[in-house]
Chains A and B, each alone.
Chain A
Amino acid sequence: MLTVGLFIPCYIEQIYPNVGLATLRLLEGHGVRAEYVEGQTCCGQPMANSGCAADAAPLAQKFLRLFRGYEYVVAPSGSCVSMVRNHYEPLLAGQPGFDHLKRSTFELCEFLVDVLKVAKIEGRFPHKVGLHQSCHGLRELRLAAGSERRIPPFDKVRLLLQELEGIELVELTRPDECCGFGGTFAVNEEAVSCMMGRDRVADHERAGAEIITAIDMSCLMHMDGLIRRDRKRLRIMHVAEVLAEAEAAA
């Protein structure tokens, strides 16, 4: 049985544990043993994105030490995986095990599609769902083609969602505009961040979505914060939660 290291982002571990559980159940349902590696905390992205790369370095070291032995590392987050694959280089270059780690750390949906070769998820999810394209997953991990580039369209996340029985993926006016979370940007540029978030929520609302889903809980946390403050009738669910719930209802 394939064993992977389960990399659970800090804010999911602490604030949205059910997303981690859904990830675990999903992987186990597809014949993978997922081990939560004791001692993991954070990939260091908040520090690195604030320009404090030096403060992220010890976390990168810790990450390498903890996950080095695994054939694959899987996380329900595009931004955290992007940190490892695209931004750990200056912090860990040359260190034993880093090359392998870079090549074997996957976001959940791309792991399902590219490694496990899942072509379709058998499940039921009779809801109107808005798919929010988290920027790191889209433009750093290339989980989909995106609206800017002139290449044949593809979307690994949509692939897994679209065949669920009863699901309706609503059509947005701006299919991949940023939600405005952006890490510390959410607080440093609070005004613009919230305007961006509200505009995304409004787009989903106008399109008739009941549930907004994404591969990054940070985007959803930000939009949910606005949804609940503005008392909108929308729910957020991580893609892992949608897929796990769908499979359970199959």
Chain B
Amino acid sequence: MSDVQQAVPRGGHPEAAAKFVANDARAHWHDQALWWVRKKRDVASAAVPDWEALRDAAAAIKAHTLSRLADYVEEFERKATALGAHVYFARDAADHNAIVHRILSERGVTKLVKSKSMLTEECHLNPYLEARGIEVTDTDLGERIVQLRHEPPSHIVLPAIHLKKEEIGELFHEQLGTEKGASDPKYLTEAARQHLRQRFLQAGAGLTGVNFAVAETGGVVVCTNEGNADMGTTLPPIHVACMGVEKLIPRRQDLPVFLRLLARSATGQPVTTYTTHFHGPRREGELHIVIVDNGRSAQLKDKVFRRSLACIRCGACMNTCPVFRRSGGYSYGWIVPGPIGVILAPGRDAAAHRTLPFASSLCGSCSDVCPVRIDLHHEILAWRQEIVRRGLLPWRKRAGMKLVGWVLRFGWLYRLAGWLARRLVPALPRGLVYARWNGWGRQRELPPMPRETFRQLYRRHRGEHQP
């Protein structure tokens, strides 16, 4: 992550999305890029004959785990500590940052290498450490790119999906000294390799996220492709692993269920290049595991939204979401965008994120690709009800719905309104009908108004055809 925090766009998602869409070529390019990742997921999942059974099992394991999470946390802590790891508990983002900083500063670490951790993005760890004199290098290529650009990642798995290779080439030319105009991905990746290699060699500690923490063994599992997490945890002697408390799973034998789903869902690969298991520190090294709450235990209480704690942060929902693909991660104003973000962000701050649950057509594609069967589109709808309940829906919309509700309640009123619409719309001048207030009419024609309603046609039909 960079030193820039993900800002909630003024006007919320609709306004930010409109800007994104306005660059038609770019929006289509972004849409196509993510659709392609969705298609790769389709191919990968088609090769797994028990795919749907795996999803069932994953959902059930997560549901069970959440129902016994306190026990599993205790078991994990006990086992991990017995192996020689230090286990810490952070109640919120500030607590997490202070703990990580203390671990590093007590050991005189001034250079940290990080592999991808959405949790640390959520806690805004980077600026916290940087303000206290610790150099933080995000070592995942996509994350390093956005870090050098001082922007946040726009996708939880594909951080730089919003950037074209020419832009990355330009960035590397300015910052890493690559040739001007060079944009070949192989060339740029090689330059990043050399640049990051130096950072790994100089780092005093490596920080990773945790994909799965196994209660039965006290071990943590990290799944990556580039080798950056493994470079960062095998060279420096200190490894800090940060995890949301929901990352726990009960047993080692539960791992294969998730490992067979994760990479296929995320990028269409059968598995990540590296699936590394850490049990206690290495010889002459240290392992620090920071377990974070930051609203998760509160979310567990909610009968509906607790189900989205099962999320394994694969990003499949984002790739399939027709709205995410056409509006980009920055339109969401939170570090985790897309369908899952639309559920999690309002939990943090419903007022700030009140437009997010409406940034969805409720198509349900996300729920069908979710490897752990979170009913995303139902939870998005539930958030809309919550937004209204908390009085956060703009009064105009609330009034509009009440009015429509009243008209539809009474048959005669509904018929009258319909009659007026059918008579007036064709009669009024076009400029009036398609005025600015007509949100539908900006890019669409209204449907042609018929003379008669179905009720009238039905009566005639029944009159003509005696039953």
Contact = CB atoms under 8 A, between A and B. Distances in A.
Interface stretch (A109-117, A121-129, A190-198): A190-198
Interface in A160-197: 174, 176-178, 180-197
A241 interface: no
Given A21-B457, A52-B402, A189 B385 contact: no
Contacts of B440: 186-187, 190, 225
B422 A195 contact: no
A189 B14 CA distance: 5
Contact of A148 (B365, B402, B449, B456): B365
Interface stretch (A9-17, A95-103, A204-212, A242-250): A9-17
Interface residues of chain B: helix, strand, loop or mixed (majority):
helix
A124 B288 CA distance: 71
A226 B365 CA distance: 23
Contacts of B196: none
Interface residues of chain A: helix, strand, loop or mixed (majority):
helix
Given A15-B449, A53-B385, A178 B401 contact: no
Contact of A181 (B46, B361, B454): B361
A28 B363 CA distance: 32
A135 B322 CA distance: 12
B323 A189 contact: yes
Given A21-B454, A21-B457, A139-B363, A49 B384 contact: yes
Given A20-B458, A191-B22, A147 B42 contact: yes
A17 B453 contact: yes
A-B CB proximity, top 4 nearest: A182-B361, A225-B444, A51-B384, A139-B364
29 contacts: A12-B454, A14-B453, A16-B447, A17-B454, A17-B457, A41-B411, A46-B401, A48-B381, A50-B397, A51-B389, A135-B361, A139-B377, A147-B42, A148-B320, A148-B368, A150-B48, A150-B52, A178-B322, A178-B365, A181-B361, A182-B363, A185-B358, A191-B14, A192-B323, A192-B359, A196-B326, A196-B361, A199-B28, A224-B445
Interface of A: 8, 10, 12-21, 24, 28, 33, 36, 38-42, 44, 46-53, 55-56, 58-59, 62, 135-136, 138-140, 146-151, 174, 176-178, 180-197, 199, 221-222, 224-226, 228-229
